[in-house]
């Protein structure tokens, strides 16, 4: 049986989609079913991670970088 401390250590993997073993995932779910403190923690962590993803600038594609470099080469 997991303790709350174990859940907080594994919660980031659960939230960011890091693969967990079937056993780890099941143990986490069983704990979350019974412990509303950890459910709240995971929910807050998930909200934080998703808000950070929105704030993160989108990566620039290689095509865009090539276009900008080509445009710069053409300028006198």
What's the closest the beta carbon of residue 26 comes to Zn ion, in angstroms?
15
Among the listed residues 15, 27, 35, 45, the single contact to Zn ion using CB under 5 A: 35
What's the closest the beta carbon of residue 4 comes to Zn ion, in angstroms?
3
Which residue matches tokens 């049986």?
A: 1
Part of the chain binding Zn ion (CB under 5 A), chosen from 10-18, 36-44, 56-64, 67-75: 36-44
Alpha helices in the chain (DSSP H): 4-16, 22-34, 36-55, 62-74
In angstroms, the Cα distances linking 63 to 59, 68, 69, 70 are 12, 9, 10, 10
How many chain residues are in contact with Zn ion, going by CB under 5 A? 3
What's the closest the beta carbon of residue 1 comes to Zn ion, in angstroms?
10
The radius of gyration computed from the CA coordinates of the chain, to the nearest angstrom, equals 21
By the criterion CB under 5 A, which residues form the site for Zn ion? 4, 35, 38
């Amino acid at each position: 049986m997991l303790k709350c401390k174990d859940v907080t250590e594994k919660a980031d993997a659960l939230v960011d989609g890091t693969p967990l073993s079937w056993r780890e995932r099941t143990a986490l779910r069983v704990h979350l079913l019974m412990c509303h403190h950890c459910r709240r923690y995971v929910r807050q962590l998930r909200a934080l991670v998703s808000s950070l993803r929105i704030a993160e600038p989108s990566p620039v594609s290689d095509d865009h970088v090539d276009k900008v470099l080509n445009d710069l080469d053409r300028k006198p």
